[in-house]
Structures are given as C-alpha cells and as structure tokens.
Amino acid sequence: MSIAIQEELAAYCRDVARRAKQAAAELAQARGEQKNAWLRQSARRLREQTDRILQANAVDLAAASQHGLTDAQIDRLRLNPKRIEEMAIGLEEVAALPDPVGEIIESSVRPNGLEVMKVRVPLGVVFFIYESRPNVTADAAAICVKSGNAVILRGGKEAAASSQVLVEILQQGLIEQGLPENALHYVQTPDRAAVGHFLSLAEYIDVAIPRGGESLIRRVAAEARMPVIKHFTGNCHVYVDATADLEMAERLTINAKCQRMGVCNACESLLVHVAVAEAFLPRIGVALRARGIELRADERSRALLGEEGVRPATEEDYAAEFLGPILSVKVVDTLDEAIEHINRYGSHHTDAIVTQDLASARRFAARVDSSAVMINASTRFNDGYQFGLGAEIGISTDKFHARGPCGLKELMTYKWVVYGEGHCRE
Amino acid sequence: MSIAIQEELAAYCRDVARRAKQAAAELAQARGEQKNAWLRQSARRLREQTDRILQANAVDLAAASQHGLTDAQIDRLRLNPKRIEEMAIGLEEVAALPDPVGEIIESSVRPNGLEVMKVRVPLGVVFFIYESRPNVTADAAAICVKSGNAVILRGGKEAAASSQVLVEILQQGLIEQGLPENALHYVQTPDRAAVGHFLSLAEYIDVAIPRGGESLIRRVAAEARMPVIKHFTGNCHVYVDATADLEMAERLTINAKCQRMGVCNACESLLVHVAVAEAFLPRIGVALRARGIELRADERSRALLGEEGVRPATEEDYAAEFLGPILSVKVVDTLDEAIEHINRYGSHHTDAIVTQDLASARRFAARVDSSAVMINASTRFNDGYQFGLGAEIGISTDKFHARGPCGLKELMTYKWVVYGEGHCRE
C-alpha cells in the first residue's frame, strides 16, 4: 500500500470517528420518541425493502465460497423473508424497551442538604467489529442508538453487500426523525488497516467491541487505546449434584449440549457427583451418543459409560471449547471439587448445577466465578433476550464494566449531578 | 540489576499476586460481621499504637528532604495523634457502611418462570499504586477488604516506614477474624521494576489503580494487561450564568478555587455570562486578588478586572490544571458557549454552574460531559465522603466502569444468578 493511500485511509477513519463523536453529543440529548420512531420506521422499511435486501444478500452468497465460508457460516449469512421479518421484530422490541438515558440509578440527600444523583448517560461512540452475520448489523445499530451512542460498524467482508443495504435503510430514517445522520457509520473499505486506525482514536471512540474469533479479539485488545469489551470463549459446564433429579439432569444436559452446538453458551463439559454417577452416566451416555456426541472422559466415567468409543479425557479436553459434537466428562467426589474444577478449567462464562439441595445451590451460585450461574436451568439461557435485556451486542467475558450479555445499560456509563443552594465546602 | 535478582523479583511479585488471588476467593465469601469486626479492631489498634506509628512516621519525615519532598508533600506525609484518630474514624465509618457483597442489583422473573438476578460481587484483586500519604494506606485497605477484594498496596517510598507499620497493624486482625491473611499485601521492595511485574499478571490481578502524577498513570495504563482505573487531571470550571445570584457566585467561586488549591476538584477556570460580567468581574477580581490568586483572562474580562496584573489568557491557560493560586477567566455570550468551552478545554472532571434559571441548570447538567456537574454547589464536593460513598480510593476520570469517586461499588462487578425448575431452551 502506498504512503498516499495509507494517509488517505487514516484521514478517512479520523473523519468518520470525529463525525461520530459530534453526533454522539447530539444523540445523547435526543428524545426517546425520536429514537423509537426511527426504530419502528426502520422495521417497516426492512419489510418493504425485502427484495432489495435479498438481492444484496444474493451477491454475498455468490461470493461466499470464494471467501472460503463453511456451510454453517453460509447458513448464518443467508437471509430470507422470515429472517428479515425477525430483524424487523428485533428493532420493534428495542423500541419497546424503556429509554435508559437519564435514568437516576441512585440518589441521596446528604446531611447538608446537597442532592446527589447518579444519572445513566451514554458512553459516546462505540466501534463494533463483527463477523459476517447481517442480522447483527441491525441489532447493533438498534441498541447503540437506543442507548444514545453513535456507532461505527465494521462488519465482515463476507456480508458487505447485505450490511451496506441494511445500514442505508437504517440511515434513511435518522434525519427524518431529527437524529444526527452521523450516528451510524458503516466502514466500507475492506482494508484491514482501517481497524488499526480506529483503535488508535481514543479521543473520539469510547469503547471497542470485537466479536469473532479469538485472534481478532486479542488483536483488538492489544491495539486499542480505548476500553474494550471482550467476548472470549465459553467453556461451559453442567454439574449434576448428588441430589439431582436425574430426569431433569438428562434433559438439561442434552439441551445445554445439543440445542445449538456452535455457540458460546453451549455445554462443553459434564461433571457428575460420584453418588449418582452409576445411575446417571450410563443413561446420559446413551442419550448423548444417540445424538452423535463424542465423549471424552476420566477413568471412573469411562467404566460407567462403556470404555469403547469413549476416549480418555486429557487436561486439554477439560480446558477446551469444542463448539461441536464433543463433550468432556468427569466424576467428582464433592460439590467443592466440581466448583474448583469449573473455576480452574472453565472460561468463567456460564455454568449450571442440577440439584435439589438448597445448600448446594447456594454454594455453587456463590463460589463459581462465572458471568452466569444457572441453577436447574440450561446454560443456553445466558443471552440478552432470555435475560430480558432486549437485544445484545455480545456476551462479555470480562469482569470489568460489563459481564455477561451486553444490552443497553452495558453500553452506558453515568455522571454525578449535584444540586445545592450555594453549598460551599468547609 | 543482575538477572538472578530480576528473576527473584519477578518470582516474588508472582507469588504475592497468586496468594492474593487465593485470598480473594475466600474473602468474597466472608461475612460482613467478620470484615466489620476487623475494621473496628484495626481502628482500636491504630489508637493504641499511636506512639509506634509516630515513631515510624518520624523515620519517614527524617528522610523527607533527602527524597526532595516539598513542604506541602512533607505536610501530607506528617502524622500526628489527630490524624491517626481521623484514620481510625475512617475505618469505623467504612465498617458502618452496608455490605455491598451479594446485593441484588436487578432482578426479574421471565415469562417462562426463570428467575434472573444480577448480583454484586467483588472484582477480585486490586493492585493500588499511590503517593506518599500514609492515611491512603488505611483508607484503601479498608474499602478493598470491605468490598471483598484482596489488595496489593504499592505506596510511595517516602512513606515506606509509616505504611509498613500501618499495614502490620491492619494485617494483625485478619487472621483473628477468620479472614485470609493474604487479603492485604504491602510491596516492600523499593525496586520500581516490581510495578511492571505486577502489571503483567492479569491472571491474578483484576484491576490496577494508579494514583499520583500523570506520568505514573500513563505508564501504568500503557503497561497494564488488566483494566486500569485512571485518575487524571482536574481542570474544573465555575460558570456564572446570566441569572446567577452574584453573592452566591462569589462565595462558590472562592470556595471552589481557594478552599484547597492542590486538589483535583479545585476550580481552575471561571466563565462569566456577559450579562453579569460588568457586575460580577470587578468584585470577584478584588476578592480573588485579596487571596493571592493570579488571574489570566480574555480581553473582555481584563477590561473589567483592570488590566494591570491580569495577564492575557492563552489557549494553554484554558487547558491547564494549575493546582495553585492561578485562575483563568473568560466572558461568554451564551450558556452554550460556556458548555462548549468546558467540554473542549476541561478535563471532564467537575464543573459547576451558578444560576437561578431552571432551563439553564438542566441544560448544563445534561450537556456538560463531566464526571460530576454541580448546580449551585462548589466543585470541591466531588468526593466519596461528600457523596455518601464512605471512603474513596480515588476519583476516576474514565467514563468506563467507574466515573468520579470510587468507593465500594466501583471496586465491584456482578454475576448473573439464574434459578429455574429444569428450564430448557426451545
């Protein structure tokens, strides 16, 4: 790349970021009714322009094999009228959420009469880097703008044509509703250097959110000069306690493992208390293998699962996020052994216990250090929609600022607003 | 430094951090009564061991000139029975705060019956790097432990002897109350390389908090592999609106500027609406100059302040945190010009308006992008004690995670705890 082109790219990125920052200041003051009207109007336009969206999507699909996408990736890229309708409904659901801007989170009147309020305000500008799923474009734009943030979208090149049309449709309504047109940017250049430029612009961009492979996230975390909300792996566990209802345990394990395997909140490891191992492992083994799941287990589990076709589990297996039809299995002697195993090998994402014992449930919930702890519920519920946050922009594996599903509030900060009557400090 | 010594230092830091992480897991489960008993017992011990503390402090004071401390720094380093009593009271005040660990911040029952709770939990291990004020040692230890976090304290070498004794006193009670002894570490080596080692240990340390000069904070932010809560400069403003009560405006301006000049929430810049400039500037000029404050002003202000002895203000003056007896002054034509000036030149720390107009107050509060916005109150109130947070570990100038005074909650995160009855995802 010539120096002139490099400089042009840097200037383009700086200009986009600067305009986003200006728009953010204005957007932070917009009324909820403006933002909601924009969301509902955009939903209508998505429906009306279904043909146009599908034409653009066809361009992406035609180039998919050239980009080396797998069948699963092509499936996620593919739009159809039903998926466009779901996108439209998604926008309407975000419109229906209460406006979070200006909410008083806490307040107190101090003994001297000073009124102290902690008020929720937008972060400012979000830089969102994501994989090739067009529906993510609509979701991200919706929750960023609803939370009062300008957003710079950097989608995968595999969905470039689809995303471009979706963003055009979303941008149309901004000016009509009196919202700043620069609230929503789609980075068009395929040049990967653009990401580096944006990550250097901390004076304009308040948070970077990478979603995709681990190498992308590590690169963004290393390069960014602004805070990053990271979404790393999900090595999630189901632990079947000594008092578990084994029928429930079977259902939950199968749901957590098999309902959707390529996602971060799918189960990757099954721990079974020794007291129920003999009763539970043979039946779950049959059920999982009937669904094509390969088991990798410790010696005690293998003895109960039938050693044929069950490989001994390695340390790496216990630490792995398989994202596919493999499950590691282990028998534990105590609840605390399960908790220690999860905290050691897990990725602090989502872990479930199946138990009928109150003390076990409370101890597991308190001591498992994960973004979500499920008691008698599938790991698959760790999700913004399922938690009632509306849409989500990702599931944070950080402990800082945002943990677990990131909806509107997770894209926000607060300011202190203090009313006095001429108060001076002694 | 030889390689052997470097390796020894790295191993020491790693060992401290690892033990702190273990202690943090235990401390997160400690009961409030254990932590509060420790705080109150420590307060008693500080009082009982006043002589021992003063002897250690005398060692630091004797070495102060050797370290090149200014008179103001020596004053902050100096302990006396009154200041030790204040430290003890500080611990008792933290003991009196509600325990934040386990608080349910939000909850909902989803339509499918799933009970979703967002529960406040400690971050884990805090690495705190701070200047040479011994009382900060006690404050930081108190709020870290109360919020369920282990803490690694790295105090300035100028207060090493005093801090060492204070930490010994605080550590004594940990085991007696059944709290993990590794919850509280004081880094003894004067070797600055130790800071670098700790900043690399993201697997053990959850947040780094540097407090001190800008170069220290920049170094920590650049090197840290974990999140950092930063505390940069405070270029704070008082804006006197067209409808201000001028007597109140004079009191507030003097309080904000003069009550304590070397602190981050002191006023550095005065903006005056043109409608009251003629009435206000001459009187505030007299009052400020009587207190030894040098004024640097724009031409319109100089004409009203009397040009002799009032230097023309430069761009740098408007951007400066003087931390001393200098104030920049400017006349503005509108409220919005004041807001724009503050957002452009300020440091987003603390900014005040003096006004009797409701719309002005609301517009200023909404549009000034600062950690704290004061309406008819001095900038000096941006402080954890004043806001009712109890002690504070600093005032964050970040917009992410924590903004403004950092008390107990700002050292915490949350986890999602979900109760079901065998819920599976469709």
Residue-wise pLDDT for A189-247, tens only, equals 878 899 999 999 999 999 999 998 889 999 999 999 999 999 988 999 999 999 999 99
Name the β-bridge partners of A125: A150
Question: What is the per-residue pLDDT for A390?
Answer: 83
Select the residue of B370, B404, B418 nearest A381 (Cβ to Cβ).
B418
Structure tokens at A236: 């999630």
Residues of A in contact with B29 (CB under 8 A): 366-367
Select the residue of A25, A108, A401 nearest B388 (Cβ to Cβ).
A108
Question: What is the per-residue pLDDT for A375?
Answer: 98
CA distance B91 to chain A (A): 20
CA distance B369 to chain A (A): 8
- Torsion angle in degrees (nearest 10) through CA of B266, B272, B276, B278: 100
Question: What is the per-residue pLDDT for A146?
Answer: 98
Q: Which residues contact A10 (CB under 8 A, 6 or more apart)?
A: A197
Query: Is the per-residue pLDDT at B43 higher than 70?
Result: yes
User: Closest-CA residue in chain B for A415?
Assistant: B371
Select the residue of B372, B404, B423 nearest A377 (Cβ to Cβ).
B423
CB contact under 8 A, B123 and A399: yes
Query: Is the per-residue pLDDT at B307 higher than 80?
Result: no
Mean pLDDT for B16-42 is 97
- Measure the CA–CA gap between B32 and B102, rounded to whole angstroms: 10
* C-beta of residue A220 within 8 angstroms of C-beta of residue A199: yes
Radius of gyration of chain B (CA): 24
- What sign does the CA torsion over B204, B207, B210, B216 have? positive
- Measure the CA–CA gap between B350 and B342, rounded to whole angstroms: 10
CB contact under 8 A, A425 and B259: yes
- Measure the CA–CA gap between B383 and A416, rounded to whole angstroms: 11
Neighbours of A6 (CB within 10 A): 13
CB contact under 8 A, B424 and A378: yes
Query: Is the per-residue pLDDT at A1 higher than 70?
Result: no
- Measure the CA–CA gap between A186 and A171, rounded to whole angstroms: 10
CB contact under 8 A, B425 and A245: no
Q: Percent helix, strand, coil in chain A (nearest 5)?
A: 45, 20, 35
Select the residue of A108, A377, A423 nearest B378 (Cβ to Cβ).
A423
- Measure the CA–CA gap between A396 and A406, rounded to whole angstroms: 7
Query: What 3-state class would DSSP assign to B125?
Result: strand
Query: Is the per-residue pLDDT at A346 higher than 90?
Result: yes
Q: How far is CA B280 from CA A424, B253, B277, B286, B380, in A?
A: 18, 11, 5, 10, 21
What region, left, alpha or beta, does residue A248 occupy, with left being phi > 0 and alpha being psi -120 to 50 degrees? alpha
CB contact under 8 A, B372 and A417: yes
- Measure the CA–CA gap between A232 and A347, rounded to whole angstroms: 8
Query: Is the per-residue pLDDT at B190 higher than 90?
Result: no
User: Closest-CA residue in chain A for B352?
Assistant: A418
Residues of A in contact with B373 (CB under 8 A): 415-418
Q: Which residues contact A18 (CB under 8 A, 6 or more apart)?
A: A204
User: Closest-CA residue in chain B for A255?
Assistant: B424
Percent over 90 (pLDDT), chain A: 88
CB contact under 8 A, A400 and B255: no
- Residue A78's Cβ-count burial label (10 Å; 0-12, 13-18, 19+) is middle
User: Closest-CA residue in chain B for A343?
Assistant: B25
- Measure the CA–CA gap between B34 and B176, rounded to whole angstroms: 9
pLDDT band at B273 (very low <50, low <70, confident <90, very high): very high
Helices (H), A110-192: 134-146, 160-176
Residues of B in contact with A371 (CB under 8 A): 415-416
Name the β-bridge partners of B374: A418, B352
Closest Cα partner for B132 from B154, B102, B155?
A: B155
Residues of A in contact with B124 (CB under 8 A): 399
- Mean pLDDT across chain A, nearest whole number? 95
Contacts for A54-62 with beta carbons within 8 Å, 24 or more apart?
Answer: A54/A79, A54/A80, A54/A81, A54/A84, A56/A161, A56/A162, A56/A164, A56/A165, A57/A134, A57/A161, A57/A162, A59/A161, A59/A162, A60/A132, A60/A134, A60/A158, A60/A159, A60/A160, A60/A161, A60/A162
Question: How crowded is the C-beta side of A16, counted as CA atoms within 13 Å?
Answer: 24
User: Closest-CA residue in chain B for A381?
Assistant: B425
CB contact under 8 A, A423 and B381: yes
Question: What is the per-residue pLDDT for B298?
Answer: 97
CA distance A425 to chain B (A): 6
Question: What is the per-residue pLDDT for B172?
Answer: 93
Least confident of A107-116, B40-49, B209-218, B270-279: B209-218
Residues of A in contact with B245 (CB under 8 A): 422
- Residue B418's Cβ-count burial label (10 Å; 0-12, 13-18, 19+) is buried
Residues of B in contact with A31 (CB under 8 A): none
Residues of B in contact with A401 (CB under 8 A): 227, 400-401
Residues of B in contact with A363 (CB under 8 A): none
Radius of gyration of chain A (CA): 24
* C-beta of residue B304 within 8 angstroms of C-beta of residue B277: yes
Mean pLDDT for B158-168 is 95
Query: What 3-state class would DSSP assign to A123?
Result: coil
pLDDT band at A67 (very low <50, low <70, confident <90, very high): confident
- Tens of pLDDT along B91-135? 999 999 999 999 999 999 999 999 999 999 999 999 999 987 888
Name the β-bridge partners of A152: A127, A185
Residue B194 DSSP class: H
Question: What is the per-residue pLDDT for A272?
Answer: 98
User: Which of B350, B360, B362, B424 should we substitute to test contact with A (largest number of A Cβ atoms within 10 Å)?
Assistant: B424
User: What is the predicted ipTM?
Assistant: 0.95
Residues of A in contact with B416 (CB under 8 A): 371-373, 382, 387, 403-405
CB contact under 8 A, B375 and A419: yes
**CB pairs < 8 Å spanning A and B:** 186
Question: What is the per-residue pLDDT for B186?
Answer: 95
User: Closest-CA residue in chain A for B107?
Assistant: A387
- Mean pLDDT across chain B, nearest whole number? 95
User: Closest-CA residue in chain A for B245?
Assistant: A422
Closest Cα partner for B373 from B381, A109, A14, A344?
A: B381
Query: Is the per-residue pLDDT at B41 higher than 70?
Result: yes
* C-beta of residue A304 within 8 angstroms of C-beta of residue A278: yes
pLDDT band at B1 (very low <50, low <70, confident <90, very high): low
Query: Is the per-residue pLDDT at A290 higher than 70?
Result: yes
- Tens of pLDDT along B365-374? 999 999 999 9
- Measure the CA–CA gap between A378 and A254, rounded to whole angstroms: 9
pLDDT band at B141 (very low <50, low <70, confident <90, very high): very high
Mean pLDDT for A155-174 is 94
| Side chain identity at residue A308, one-letter code | E
